[in-house]
Homo-oligomer: A and B are copies of this chain.
Amino acid sequence: MTLFRQEIGEQPEVAERVLAEAAGRVAEVAAAIRAADPAGLVIAARGSSDHAAVYAKYLFEGRNGLPVALAAPSLFTLYRSPPDLRRFCVLAISQAGASTDIVEVVAEARRQGSLTVAVTNDPASPLAGQARHVVELGTGPERSVPATKTYTASLLVMAMLSQALRPEPALAAALERVPEALRAAIAVEGELEPLVGALSGATRLAVLGRGHNLATALEVGLKLMEAAYLVTEARSVADFLHGPIAIVEPGFPVLLLEAAGPAAGEMAKLAGELRRRRARVLTVGDGAPPDGEPGVRLATGLPEVLTPLPLAVAGQLLTAGLAAARGIDPDRPRGLRKVTISR
């Protein structure tokens, strides 16, 4: 078994551990944010962690009323003209905590006197050293180059922080069901075979989500680039309609990541439009795929806001299946190292 596949399988246990062990630090961070009363958050991250930041944006804006800006690290490093962060809380997400540019965003925020928070797998990292508060992911070492368990653990910490800032009994109960939902997602692995088959000869793919699952589309799109070498166009449904849909010709594969909730109607409408154009529609989500169309029904049992966790796991498994079908070693994709030290 590849490390990639093995680490995908660890995610239910990791989620249990995060729920048990990160709660204390998350509560401290929530108290600090409440005390600072920032106008909004600035989140700094790269790669998969940046998709966790997109997840956090929808969560903190939608549940907590806090506007979220994603940091442009080059302004802190190459250009040396960072924005005025004094009315913001600056939160960094980085599994290794070693990306020089993310560390520099937090260092600058600290110099400006902003509240700073690091979410990282390595509490001894340079990033953790710069931040006032550190939430350790505690996933254990992640050895496969494409992130899996650190991604879902980061989402979970974000959801716990949103909940700590505005507690809701229903969300508290749903958070406890996340490990079980991840187990259920892993259990659909065999049902992904028709999707693997449909994509085994593909070179291009659109991956679409909406709302809370925009982050999932971005992350699954990245996984499929990293470990299956597909060029993916990952977008929100709304943005896809604003131009990129022109790439869809008959047979063009489109993966829809769906969850029951306010966005479902729009996804269904788009799916109809894609079928009219004779695209090859593949679905993973809460609904049952139409007869004869490759798709996996993933009854997550979670409120929409938490569905990005099991949906990401299904996307990881699809990637693992495709990597195997194409003879790619997902643990060591060409040209990637585990820690990207970028300026």
**CB within 8 Å of B: which residues of A?**
39-40, 42, 46-48, 50, 57-58, 60-63, 65-70, 72-75, 78-85, 87-88, 101, 146, 203-204, 206, 210-211, 214, 222, 225-227, 229-233, 236, 238-239, 241-249, 262-263, 266, 277, 333-336, 340, 342-343
Contact = CB atoms under 8 A, between A and B. Distances in A.
Given A47-B239, A74-B236, A74-B238, 6 more contacts: A40-B87, A61-B75, A70-B70, A74-B211, A242-B340, A248-B335
A265 B79 CA distance: 12
Contact of A87 (B48, B87, B222, B229): B87
Contacts of A340: 241-242
B239 A225 contact: no
B66 A83 contact: yes
| Number of copies of this protein chain within its complex | 2
A243 B234 CA distance: 14
Given A40-B40, A65-B83, A246 B78 contact: no
Contact of A75 (B62, B231, B334): B62
A229 B249 contact: yes
Contact of A247 (B57, B58, B230, B236): B230
Contact of A211 (B79, B82, B227): B79
Closest 9 pairs (CB-CB, A-B): A39-B39, A47-B242, A69-B69, A39-B87, A61-B83, A65-B84, A246-B333, A78-B262, A204-B231
Contact of A231 (B61, B247, B262): B247
A229 B50 CA distance: 28
Contacts of A266: 78, 343
Contacts of A335: 245-246, 248, 277
A305 to B, nearest CB: 10
A67 B46 contact: no
